[in-house]
Amino acid sequence: MNHKWRGEAHIFYHKTFEMKRSPRNGTEDDRDKLVLTFQNLDFNVKCHNDLSLSEIEGILRDVAARDHTDCDCLVVAVLTHCGLDKLLVARDEEYDISTLLNPFIGSRCRGLATKPKLFFIQTCKGEYGDLQGRGPRRGDSIDGVPDLAPLKTYQVPSHADILIWYAPFDEQYDRTRYKEPSCVRCLHSVFAKRDTSLHLVSLLTDVTRQFGELGYRRGERVPCFTTSLTRLLYFP
């Protein structure tokens, strides 16, 4: 982390949808906390609100085409609903996590080829009524532990220097007990008070622990992450 610039952080935030999905009311604070978190880590943060899938793909292509030689790393974050068939939901349709990752793999983005690429995803299942009358599906959890199947469906290439942080939560808890922290607000709190001697994986483990102490009391699921980072990552 000794380049001229920290790098870009792109946040794709979704509140309203063209499909028959409830709006994610009361989630602006998560977006704002995430913006502040990455600004405090010296990233150049850009927030994109309620974009269509084609607009998201266009921005990711543009980012991948830029020169990242003088940057430490890249962050891409998504706050949205969890799809019925795919993990993520844009304004107009669902999409796979591979849409986020593929533009930055290997020769497609040489400036980031050996640098950390960090992906932060928080999805909600929607209103409680949306969950009635169906059996278990991919993304459901057992005893509060999130199913990792949505992440396993994308095989991260060896030595790709990728980390994916995944935070599922049930929106009805966020609406009725909004003052209690979401995963993103726990993330913001941990990074704001971080010990600079701790590396990223240690910090994310602390987020899981802290949210677990609160989340289990409300029946929510703790965040998880998968990584192919090839070195320890610090934010001094």
Strands (E), the chain: 8-13, 44-49, 74-81, 88-89, 94-95, 117-124, 141-142, 145-146, 162-169, 224-227
Residue 3 lies in a domain: no
Residue 2 lies in a domain: no
Phi, psi of 12 (to 5 degrees): -105, 110
Residue 236 lies in a domain: no
Q: What is the pLDDT of residue 158?
A: 54
With a cut of 70, list the residues of the chain below it in pLDDT: 126-159, 170-181, 215-220
Tell me the two tokens of residue 169.
């939560």
User: Count of domains in the chain?
Assistant: 1
Residue 53 lies in a domain: yes
Quote the mean pLDDT of the chain.
83
Residue 200 lies in a domain: yes
Residue 182 lies in a domain: yes
What CATH number does the domain containing 213 carry? 3.40.50.1460
What is the identity of the amino acid at 187? L
Cα–Cα–Cα angle for 85, 122, 4, rounded to 5 degrees: 125
pLDDT one-digit tens code per residue, 93-119: 999 999 999 999 878 898 999 999 999
Residue 199 lies in a domain: yes
Phi, psi of 208 (to 5 degrees): -60, -45
Residue 93 lies in a domain: yes
Q: What is the pLDDT of residue 198?
A: 96
Q: What is the pTM of this model?
A: 0.85
Domain that holds residue 151: 8-227
